[in-house]
Structure 1
Amino acid sequence: MAEDSSRQTSLHCFFYWAEHRPDSVYLTQPYPDGRVEDITWAEAADQVSRMAGYLVSLGLPAHSSIAILGKNSAHWILADLAIWAAGHVSVPLYPTLNGETAAYILDHSQAQLLFLGKMDGTADGWNDIKQHMPEDLPVVSLPLSPRKDTPTWQGIIERQAPETPRWPDPDELATIVYTSGSTGRPKGVMHSFRNMVSVAEGLQQLFPVGTEERMLSYLPLAHVAERAAVETQSLYYGFHLYFANSLDTFQEDLQRARPTLFFSVPRLWMKFYLSINAKLPPRKQKLLFNLPILGSLVKKKVLRQLGLDHCRAALTGAAPLSADIIAWYRNLGLELLEVYGMSENFGYSHANRPGAARAGYVGVPNPGVEHRIGEGGEVQVRSPGQMLGYFRNEEKTREDITEDGFLKTGDMGEIDSDGSLRITGRVKDLFKTAKGKYVVPVPIENRFNHPGAEVVCVAGANQPQPCMMVLLSDELRSALANGADRAELERELAAELDAVNTACESHEKVAFLAVVKEPWTMENGMLTPTMKIKRNVIEAFYNARMDDWFARNTKVVWDF
């Protein structure tokens, strides 16, 4: 690709592929009725040009904020591109937001119009959001939108003439990405087109990617991780992007895509792992995997069942993943690479390299990235993907960027002699016990590796010792609800707790673990849209039960 025509921005890349690979399929969208739509690069460009013409016809001020609300879909990507082609700024909203937060973002971003996409009110926040929508905000409905009383994407492109794109300058504001709000109000992170493309340019130097790749987009496109790893890469390299229809059809959607590159977050890697354990118990895995010829066949079958048998590189990020789980995937033959980044640097910070990955480390700096450890052990990073600042919040921008241009990440970490970074926790996650000793919860959580535990949270501020809350897998919770004996499970959990405590300082030793009944989900506010735990929400929810749990004086407390 010529530098001047295709690499300046994602929009340049998009129209480059529409010209050079017009008949190749870019986007594959499944629908609830079983229909699957393939959209070629040429068809995508035609739709984008026509929608851009509609946006231009509205006479909005240049660089207006235009919001996108909906689950991932082909038309989410097309709406993003149309906003840019019309000379405006895209503002994605998480589909799982509550109504109050959605209203805040629409107001704070000064959104002039909303593209409303795939929402159904069951596994998203639509039922609440619709009650808080500004009445005077214009809405355009994408396919699968819950509203039928607005102009539609299809209706507009059928009658609208195509518009020549307004080619953006690489340093112009492209998007405002609001943080997932794990604490407090979400902040609007401003990114330029150059920030976004830096991710693809850096990846090119790490391992080869080409037009033959396939990816499945299912993590929220409102987050920089999916935007960087999936949307931006597909536009830069010109490869085929697939979408998932629903959670119930996820395996079918994954089998359709047969991704060659796959990005996920720890919670979902753990779910995949637990689903295999439910079918093939760990003891049996250990026996079969070690057989000379049969072991290799079984591993390939497991990857095929996961839909990852064509995957040559898999990434995990957004939160730490246990070294044992990473080792399990690598033993299957899947090179699972930890990467590290933040909303504030468009996910472009650190990555493990193929063939040189180290468990427990998020890798070395990506090309062009500098890192250091600042005051209090905080990781500081200067990246080509670094934000322009926080939208309408200069004070917070000055607070989070050092005078010499490094981003204060809020993460605690260590850098070894080879330049590899290990994240040891969040600065704000530190808590003090009643004995006045500080505890860093993340390393303790990462050492707890019972195969039936989906996610854990260490807490215990102002208590004698830390404690651990454990959410079991769906399968285990269902079995227990149907009367399964918990005695053996309790013994296993207690033994795993003992193993964790052997590596803890005396003040860090976990007094007990509480097996909780309430699922932790995005809908009840205990997980962020990228499935990280909202520690403060979880702690507040269980705080009233802490004294009773400690008083029971037992290693395993059953909260149901």
Structure 2
Amino acid sequence: MNNFSSSMEAFLYWEKETPSKPFLIQNYESHQKSISYSDAGIEMRKLASYLLKLGLPNKSHIALLSKNCPHWIMADLAISIAGFISIPIYPTLTSEGINQILTHSESKAIIIGKLDDFASQKTGIPNIPIISVKAFGANTGIYWEDIMNQELELMDLYIPKSDDLRTIIYTSGTTGQPKGVMYTSGNFTKSSSTFTQIINLPKNPKFFSYLPLAHVAERAFCNGILFYGGQITFPHSLESFAENLEKLQPDIFFGVPRIWTKFQEKILESLPQRKLSILLSIPFVNKAIKKKIQTKLGLSKASFIASAAAPIASSLVKWYAAIGISIQQAYGMTEDCCISHTNLSGQSKIGTVGKALEGVKIKFSEEGEILILNNCLFKGYYKAPEITAEVFDKEGYFKTGDIGEYDHEGFLTITGRVKDQFKTDKGKYISPAPIELQILKNTDIEQICVVGTGIPQPIALVTVSSLGKSKSKDDLSKSLYQSILEINPSLQKHEKISKVVVMQEEWNVANGFSTPSLKIKRNSLERVFQPLYKSWFEADQNVIFKS
């Protein structure tokens, strides 16, 4: 990898050296469209030229509302070379959430890309200039395509300096209101170069981009791919996701626990566990079965496969290892630009988040909270100096809010969240995360949240997986209760789970129970369901189906 000072410098290098090489590939319903480095350069320069003609103040904030697509990457680069600052917005936010970010960030214009339901989001946009991509059906403002036909390319490009503010990323907010995390150009350069060096990317790597680019991890990965002159491919839809991924066979793949659970469900639907176990036990068949599954998932060529954003059950990682897929659990946050800890091939321990990356310093508070210092920590929360001051200690370490511990080999285990701890009416504190991970061994469960404020013993709120939904109510009850019987002997008396409550609907962004990065919003669940805890706890059944 060349030593680039920014993603913009990297792009300009590859645009010159490999102009006709594919850079961005968008899957559509019946075809693909490939955009070369040269063509991407033309489009971003024309967009930058138009943005400057809007006459906005220097360093203005330009919002970007879109699912992952080529236009997201090109718009982000265009905003940068025009000397502006990008404000990415999660594409699944409601109109209220969008308005909140646009207002707080003081965005002066917005670029609309690929969205599922822009009609319901449109009212959240105030009276500011709008650019929309006609190909994706957002019929508002001026079309991207018209700008490409009418504008000349910007020749005098602004190349960001290392300490220039590059973007403000609003956290998905598991608690409270989203906060604007400020990043410089140098933050991303250091983050991306650290990751790409440790995972030893091949020349011209292929990356499948589907996790929200509005999140720091996906954006850092795409920056890293750019440093290597690689190509980034985007899925058409949720329905075509598996087909698009299988066709690409990327060099690296990054997932969150729910993705790995979904993949497992699909495999077991066509190849039940008993049959799979038998096939894997046959020496000559074992290798062929593993290769077939890896290829079907799209992971036959991936040299680095990671899971992060939330804890993943050790049982799930071991299940994948049995079919020849090594998932390396990583740990990072929006505020530390994802540079913290990761497991690596040959240096991995299931159940941990790995060892500290180069340049990372860690210490623990008296309560066991992890405090981190690295060379790409965020510069503070936008317009929130008091909150910023609260999350740093006197030595400049960031307070992660996570509780953890090292083992004797230097592997870090996350044992919970400071704010997730709750106290039952027995006065005993409980950290739910380790308990939840144990219960998630049951493949009938999709999501889980262990709660217990105001009742003597904790209860487990769960949503059911597609495998669980295929079972009768009686069989599902037996399966869930069996999990509790298996886990309770290993728990302290005050931690033992008393009931399982099966929720009617899954927890997602639309109903406010999940963040766009698929983390459960515990506060939201508690606010809605805590009044029912007592009646659930006192019910005669061990497994309760919420009506």
Q: TM-score, normalised by structure 2?
A: 0.97
Partner of 1:43: 39
Partner of 1:324: 315
Q: How far apart in 2 are the matches of 1:518 and 1:60?
A: 45
Preserved CA contact (<8 Å) 2:68 2:210: yes
Preserved CA contact (<8 Å) 1:465 1:511: yes
Cα distance change of structure 1 residues 431 and 2 upon mapping to structure 2, 3 Å threshold: closer
> Is residue 193 of structure 1 aligned with residue 185 of structure 2?
yes
Give CA-to-partner distance per residue, 1:479-524, whole Å, 9 cap, x none.
3xxxx53333322221211121122100000001112221111211
SS of residue matched to 1:19: helix
Q: How far apart in 2 are the matches of 1:546 and 1:67?
A: 41
Partner of 1:257: 248
SS of residue matched to 2:174: coil
Q: How far apart in 1 are the matches of 2:232 and 2:534?
A: 50
Q: How far apart in 2 are the matches of 1:256 and 1:110?
A: 41
Equivalent residues in 2 for 1:410-429, closer than 5 Å: 410-429=401-420
Equivalent residues in 2 for 1:464-479, closer than 5 Å: 464-477=456-469, 479=470
Cα displacement (A) at 1:90: 0.5
Amino acid at match of 1:516: M
Preserved CA contact (<8 Å) 2:130 2:140: no
Q: How far apart in 2 are the matches of 1:2 and 1:435?
A: 59
Give CA-to-partner distance per residue, 1:319-372, whole Å, 9 cap, x none.
000011111112221221111111101111111121121111111111111111
Q: How far apart in 1 are the matches of 2:216 and 2:195?
A: 15
**Which residue of 95, 112, 121 maps to 1:99?**
95
SS of residue matched to 1:15: helix
Q: How far apart in 1 are the matches of 2:424 and 2:336?
A: 34
Q: How far apart in 2 are the matches of 1:285 and 1:212?
A: 35
Q: How far apart in 1 are the matches of 2:120 and 2:194?
A: 40
Amino acid at match of 1:531: L
Give CA-to-partner distance per residue, 1:262-281, whole Å, 9 cap, x none.
01111111111112122222
> Is residue 31 of structure 1 aligned with residue 21 of structure 2?
no
Partner of 1:274: 265
Partner of 2:121: 129
Preserved CA contact (<8 Å) 1:469 1:513: yes
Preserved CA contact (<8 Å) 2:208 2:234: yes
* Number of residue-to-residue matches in the alignment: 545
Q: How far apart in 2 are the matches of 1:547 and 1:207?
A: 49
Preserved CA contact (<8 Å) 1:299 1:333: yes
Cα displacement (A) at 1:375: 3.0
Q: Which moved more, 1:508-517 or 1:54-63?
A: 54-63
Preserved CA contact (<8 Å) 1:143 1:153: yes
SS of residue matched to 2:490: coil
Preserved CA contact (<8 Å) 1:210 1:238: no
Partner of 1:286: 277
Amino acid at match of 1:279: S
Preserved CA contact (<8 Å) 2:444 2:466: no
SS of residue matched to 1:345: coil
Q: Which moved more, 1:520-529 or 1:74-83?
A: 520-529
Amino acid at match of 1:514: V
Partner of 1:88: 84
Preserved CA contact (<8 Å) 1:210 1:239: no
**Which residue of 161, 170, 175 maps to 2:162?**
170
**Which residue of 412, 418, 431 maps to 1:440?**
431
> Is residue 460 of structure 1 aligned with residue 457 of structure 2?
no
Preserved CA contact (<8 Å) 1:313 1:334: no
Equivalent residues in 2 for 1:36-435, closer than 5 Å: 36-121=32-117, 126-134=118-126, 136-164=127-155, 165-229=157-221, 231-435=222-426
SS of residue matched to 2:158: coil
Q: How far apart in 1 are the matches of 2:49 and 2:423?
A: 57
Preserved CA contact (<8 Å) 1:199 1:348: yes
SS of residue matched to 1:372: strand
Amino acid at match of 2:444: G
SS of residue matched to 2:208: strand
Q: How far apart in 2 are the matches of 1:354 and 1:435?
A: 44
Partner of 1:551: 538
SS of residue matched to 1:22: coil
Q: Which moved more, 1:421-430 or 1:159-168?
A: 159-168
Give CA-to-partner distance per residue, 1:157-209, whole Å, 9 cap, x none.
22211113211101110000000011111000000111111122212431311
Amino acid at match of 1:544: P
**Sequence identity of aligned pairs in percent?**
37
Preserved CA contact (<8 Å) 1:49 1:82: yes
SS of residue matched to 1:115: strand
Q: Which moved more, 1:313-322 or 1:49-58?
A: 49-58
Unaligned segments of structure 2, at least 5 residues? none
Task: Give structure 1 regions of 4+ aligned residues with deviation exceeding 6 angstroms.
Answer: none
**Which residue of 467, 480, 494 maps to 2:481?**
494
Q: Which moved more, 1:516-525 or 1:314-323?
A: 516-525
Give CA-to-partner distance per residue, 1:411-468, whole Å, 9 cap, x none.
0111223222111111000100010000100000011111221111101111110000
SS of residue matched to 2:485: helix
SS of residue matched to 2:110: strand
